[in-house]
């Protein structure tokens, strides 16, 4: 399995970056796009890397925020065949303070979108899970809200989904932001390899970060994190978690 970071908040190469995430995955199950950043940048970077996104077999949008699904319209334009798996709840009204951070609702009824309401297999070795799979202990919305019936309530992240790929004896889990809690996700899946954000960028308490890193170290898991984890938070986590690495735009890993 080969994973290329098409866009992330940072870059250590000539490729441009933006706040968001998009991964290109070459697997036994086919070519997969996991998230599409907030603009067409994921596509532009793919072109520069010699990656033909028209050959993607299926795509996954991990949740209903613009920085993961903002490039969805561009993907639908350049790829004419791949189904796009997305939560049935992904087109809600989501906010960060007063800022709307949801997806373009004009895409909601596109016939290429596959609405995910429960766990489902995609092909041999690939399965998509909903956040309903998790026991959500200590769920923290960090100020993110979902508007329902005119009221903005703390987001419960029922629009978040995860992709699990199994190749050989390795179970690899992809999570866009882990809004439902990285600890809750690890309890539910216990993967050999985890790829995605931890959503800790607003966590300033060093003791809490040490506690989280100690918890993650209990698993025999290699972690590749990025985006919403936060670089400062990553440095604290790394002190107690040797298996943790940071992914930036343009990085490629082979599993």
Provide mean pLDDT across the span 67-84.
98
**So what's the pLDDT on residue 185?**
97
Number of domain units in the chain: 1
Give the mean pLDDT of 44-56: 98
At residue 173, what are phi and psi to the nearest 5 degrees? -115, 130
User: pTM (2 decimals)?
Assistant: 0.97
- Determine what percent of the chain is predicted with pLDDT higher than 90: 93
State mean pLDDT over 89-99.
97
215-240 pLDDT per residue, tens: 999 999 999 999 999 999 999 999 98
Average pLDDT for 46-57: 98
Give the rounded percent of residues in the chain with a pLDDT score beyond 70. Answer: 100
Average pLDDT, the chain: 96
Q: Is the pLDDT of residue 251 over 80?
A: yes
How far apart are alpha carbons 97 and 202 in whole angstroms?
14
Question: What pLDDT is recorded for position 41?
Answer: 98
The stretch 135-141 carries a mean pLDDT of 83
Q: Is the pLDDT of residue 79 over 80?
A: yes
* pLDDT at residue 135 is higher than 90: no
pLDDT digits (tens, 9 = 90+) for 142-164: 999 999 988 999 999 999 999 99
- Say yes or no to pLDDT of 184 above 90: yes
Cβ within 8 Å of residue 115, ≥6 positions away: 86, 87, 88
| Residue 139 confidence class, pLDDT cut points 50, 70, 90 | confident
Give the pLDDT mean for 13-30. Answer: 97
What confidence tier does 89 reach under pLDDT thresholds 50, 70, 90?
very high
Residue 19 belongs to a domain with what CATH number? 3.60.15.10
Residue 171: pLDDT band by 50, 70, 90 thresholds? Answer: very high
pLDDT over threshold 80, residue 83: yes
Structural domain including 187 reads 2-254
The answer to whether residue 138 scores a pLDDT higher than 80 is no
Residue 107 has pLDDT above 80, yes or no: yes
d(CA 118, CA 133): 9
pLDDT band, very low/low/confident/very high, at 123 (cuts 50, 70, 90): very high
Predicted confidence at residue 136, as pLDDT, reads 79
């Amino acid at each position: 399995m080969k994973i290329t970071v098409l866009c992330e908040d940072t870059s250590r190469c000539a490729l441009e970056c933006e706040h968001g995430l998009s991964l290109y995955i070459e697997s036994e199950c086919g070519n997969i796009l996991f998230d599409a950043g907030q603009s067409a940048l994921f596509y532009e970077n793919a072109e520069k890397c010699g990656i033909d996104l028209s050959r993607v077999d299926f795509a996954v949008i991990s949740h209903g925020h613009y920085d993961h699904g903002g490039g969805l319209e561009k993907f639908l334009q350049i790829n004419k065949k791949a189904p796009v798996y997305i939560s049935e709840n992904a087109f809600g009204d989501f906010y960060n303070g007063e800022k709307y951070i949801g997806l373009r609702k004009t895409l909601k009824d596109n016939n290429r979108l596959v609405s995910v309401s429960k766990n489902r297999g995609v092909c041999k070795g690939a399965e998509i899970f909903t956040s309903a799979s998790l026991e959500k202990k200590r769920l923290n919305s960090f100020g993110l809200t979902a508007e329902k019936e005119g009221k903005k309530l703390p987001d419960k992240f029922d629009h978040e989904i995860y992709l699990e790929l199994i190749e050989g004896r390795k179970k690899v889990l992809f999570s866009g932001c882990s809004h439902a809690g990285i600890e809750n996700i690890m309890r539910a899946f216990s993967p050999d390899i985890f790829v995605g954000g931890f959503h800790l960028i607003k966590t300033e308490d060093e003791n809490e970060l040490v506690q989280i890193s100690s918890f993650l170290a209990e698993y025999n898991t290699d972690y590749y994190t990025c985006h919403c984890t936060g670089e400062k938070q990553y440095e604290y986590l790394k002190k107690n978690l040797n298996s943790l690495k940071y992914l930036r735009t343009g990085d490629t890993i082979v599993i």
